[in-house]
Structures are given as C-alpha cells and as structure tokens.
Amino acid sequence: MKIFMAGVGGMLGEAFYEVFTEKGYEIQCSDIDVNESWLQHLDFRDYDAYRSAVIKFNPDYIFHIGAYTSLEFCELNPLDTYSTNTLSVEHAVTLANELDIPMLYISTAGIFDGEKPLYDDWDLPNPLGVYARSKFMGERYVVENARRYYICRAGWMMGGGPRKDKKYISKIMNQIKSGVSVLNVVDDRDGTPTYTLDFAATCEALVRTNYYGLYNMVCTGQTSRLEVTAEILSVLGLSNDIEIKSVTSDFFKEEYFAARPVSERLINTKLGLRNLDLMRDWKLCVKEYLDARYSNYL
C-alpha cells in the first residue's frame, strides 16, 4: 500500500513514519518544515502544490496529519489557523475524492466543551476557541464530503522526545531540568493522554479493516494534569524531591489565555466494539516514553 502523508514533521508524524515504515508500507512524507532526511517540502495550504505532489506519487491513501496545535497561537492568528487547520483539509478531501482513495484525518478531544465528564465517539462537539473550531470544521468537512475516510481523535499527546515534544510532558521535563523544587500544576483540567506510537499503530490496524468512520483513539485510563505530573515524578524517582503545588487555571491565565474545556476525557467505545483498541494504559505509556526518550535528559 502506498500512503501520502502530509504534515508529518512533528511529534505525531514521526510516530507515523516509524510505525508505517516498520510495517513495510511505501510512504511519501511531507511537511513545511523539512527537519528529517525522510521529509519532502510541501505547504499543504497551497492546493496546486499539494495536488501535484499527490498525483505524482499516486497513493492508495492520503493521511492529512499536520496542524497548528498551540491554542494561544491560534487565538492570535485565526486566519492563518483556518487556512492551515481547515482549508487544507478541504484540499485533502478533494484530492482523495479525485483519486477515489480513502483518507485519514487527525482530530482532537479539544473540540468538546467539557460540560460532560467523558465523551464517546457519538457525543456532539461544541468547540470553545479558534483551535477547536478549526479542527471541528475540518472534521465536519471530511464527514460531509469525503467518500471514504477515517477520523481519529487524539487526547493529550505525548511523544517525539525533547526535540519534537512541545506538549505537557516536555514542559514539565524542562522545568525539572531547570532545577525547580516546586511544580505548579492545575487541578481543574481532566483529559486522556495519547501516546503517539500507540496512536499510529492503532491507525495502522484500522486502515487494514475498511471500517471507515470516526473514532476516539486515546490511552486507557482517565486522569488529570495533577495525576500525570505525579506519575512523571514517580517514574523519574523524584517524588520526594519535587513538590507539586495545586493551582487553578487562573494561575496561568496570562500565558495560557485561550479557552480550554474542563474535561477532554475520551473513551474508545467504537474501537472497543470492533476489537481494534490497541491503546495501552496511560501510566505504562508514560513510563515507556520517558525511558525511551528522556533517559539521559536530566
């Protein structure tokens, strides 16, 4: 199977490259940031360039993976965000339909408003900010227009290591490396960690089934920022050396001013019903990730 992967220069894209290469797929990987030898330059916001690259490769699948994921950047740059996170998805749908091939699109738990403690695959989203809205409108366009598709919703992403991880674990590890004795951690945000390697492996299993549709795809076990931080310190053997101070989101309101749902907890109901849920427990994945990518970091 030949797969064209667009926007795979980040932490999730790296996992897709590793998993699908190991499985023997013929893949072409592209990104606007060519930070790996296996990447080719492509700005998927440029429809003509996107089409030219895809047509030349003549794939059996299109994976549209890249997006802006910083909520604050998206709030400050809405037009750029919609161009990158939404209009480019329309490009991918158009190309997939033209070639009559399936596509895969990555969505997010952040499209929900957090009014419920837990969301399954059939709950209706209600996005709170520009990032969430841009991703949800991409999701809607795929559902309403693509002939064959997979939409896979991720939660709190972890993966990529120090070089590519720009998410929560990286931020905590950077603070620990700086020598802090106290970590201020919000106590009013719940979610579900999502290990990039498990996510990519589950996507690989899914695309072999032809069970098209929309899927929640997160690690098992519901948790909070506090619990994730405590687990990081436990894995590192630093629980007695660094204090976790519980704070509300208002503590970080100047730095993290974008609206965020109180709960982003997903449950993989549909994957479970189809016996395709390869996502492991989040604590096991945190340990595996830290051992593999941060063993010499501190």
| CATH code of residue 30 | 3.40.50.720
Residue type, 39: L
Residues 96, 62 contacting (CB under 8 angstroms):
yes
* pLDDT at site 223: 87
pTM (2 decimals)? 0.95
Element (H, E) at 286: helix 282-293
Contacts of 129 (CB under 8 A, 6+ apart): 71, 74, 75, 258, 259, 260
Name 63's bridge partners. Answer: 5, 104
Asked if residue 179 is part of any domain, the answer here is no
Give the integer Cα–Cα distance in Å for 110 and 129.
Answer: 9
Counting every residue written for the chain, the total comes to 298
Residues 121, 151 contacting (CB under 8 angstroms):
no
Asked if residue 109 is part of any domain, the answer here is yes
Asked if residue 251 is part of any domain, the answer here is no
Closest by alpha carbon to 225, among 189, 272, 277? 189
- Ordered mean pLDDT values, 10 residues apiece, the chain (298 residues): 96 97 96 95 97 97 96 97 97 98 97 95 96 97 98 96 93 95 92 96 96 97 91 95 94 90 95 96 96 91
Asked if residue 112 is part of any domain, the answer here is yes
Q: How many CB atoms lie under 10 A from the CB of residue 141?
A: 18
Range of the domain at 155: 2-160+193-220+265-280
* pLDDT at site 114: 93
Asked if residue 172 is part of any domain, the answer here is no
Closest by alpha carbon to 147, among 218, 76, 210, 83? 210
Asked if residue 173 is part of any domain, the answer here is no
Going by the DSSP 8-state scheme, the letter that residue 10 receives in this structure is S
What is the three-class DSSP state of 158? Answer: strand
Give the integer Cα–Cα distance in Å for 288 and 284.
Answer: 6
* pLDDT at site 254: 87
Asked if residue 150 is part of any domain, the answer here is yes
Give the integer Cα–Cα distance in Å for 240 and 287.
Answer: 18
Asked if residue 20 is part of any domain, the answer here is yes
Give the integer Cα–Cα distance in Å for 7 and 31.
Answer: 4
Residues 30, 7 contacting (CB under 8 angstroms):
yes
Specify the number of domains making up the chain: 1
